[in-house]
Amino acid sequence: MGKPKICIFFIISLSFFAIFSLNSFADERGTCTNPGAGTKICGENLVSRDNECCPNQQQNPSYYRSASNPTGPQNYNDCIANFFFKDTDASQVNDCKLGCCCTNLAKDVKIGAQCKGTGETFHLGDTDCSECTLPQCNDNIDNDNNQCKDLDDSGCSSPSDQTEAGGICLGRGQGCQSTSYTPRLSSLRAEPVKGERKIRLIWADECSQNAVSYEIRRCQGPNCQNFALIATSNTNSFTDSSNELLFDATYTYQIKSFYNLQTANPTATVLGQLGNFECWNML
């Protein structure tokens, strides 16, 4: 009576081995460009297709397209077809090579996989961003040769204004005693805090002596318009430490000023990023 048990055990063992072998064979290895894969993107070592690059969508929704991952794959089939490169080293994948990521308001050197958002254009191999063309009101050049540039020139209404011509230099404090004067916000910067999950905003206000407060708004994406109020500051700086901030995501910040003399409420916008996840806690 013992022999049939041995045979059954043997058959079950063979079946398990066959299933294990098929699963192992199915999970191929290669280079991953899925934004949701985090540190596995374009790594030095090949990663597994089904475990590390294109896992089960229901169990791992962050790997697939959503509001927080707008450039990710739509589903598993899209992922393995367009975001996984079987038996291919990262150095052979164009999306893993450096180039310049250009928007209407900024330019930055990064890998192609990190430059696929709305309004972003990637120039492979351009590491000095010479192929990016910024608007004249955000290019740090005195285009009309009137001794001032960008938002210091009244010819510029915003950083996205294409033409700088037709204005005059705005001296600091000029017109600040007039209720009808519109103060200029300038030099707005959004910089990641080294080693931390924070973005620090700093700006200049030519009528800061009259400023009462500044509203800080944020939306995700380089061309977004659905700004949400995140804070109010009574100084010309603010540090965004929200848990909502995502690595490798681009945010647009808007500063709106309020005065005790001027009735105008000028605004300024700037793009900001946390940077890469690998830099977190790295001082």
pLDDT at 24: 43
Query: In whole angstroms, what is the distance from residue 266 CA to residue 168 CA?
Result: 18
pLDDT at 55: 95
CATH fold of 172-279 reads: Immunoglobulin-like (2.60.40)
Alpha helices in the chain (DSSP H): 2-26, 76-82
Nearest to 144 by CA among 156, 133, 132: 156
What letter would DSSP give residue 272?
A: E
CATH 2.60.40.10 range(s) for the chain read 172-279
Query: In whole angstroms, what is the distance from residue 47 CA to residue 41 CA?
Result: 9
42 neighbors 93 (Cβ within 8 angstroms): yes
Query: In whole angstroms, what is the distance from residue 79 CA to residue 63 CA?
Result: 9
Query: In whole angstroms, what is the distance from residue 213 CA to residue 197 CA?
Result: 25
Alpha helices in 83-178 (DSSP H): none
Nearest to 35 by CA among 113, 103, 95: 113
Residues of the chain below pLDDT 70 = 1-26, 168, 170-174, 275-283
Q: What is the pTM of this model?
A: 0.50
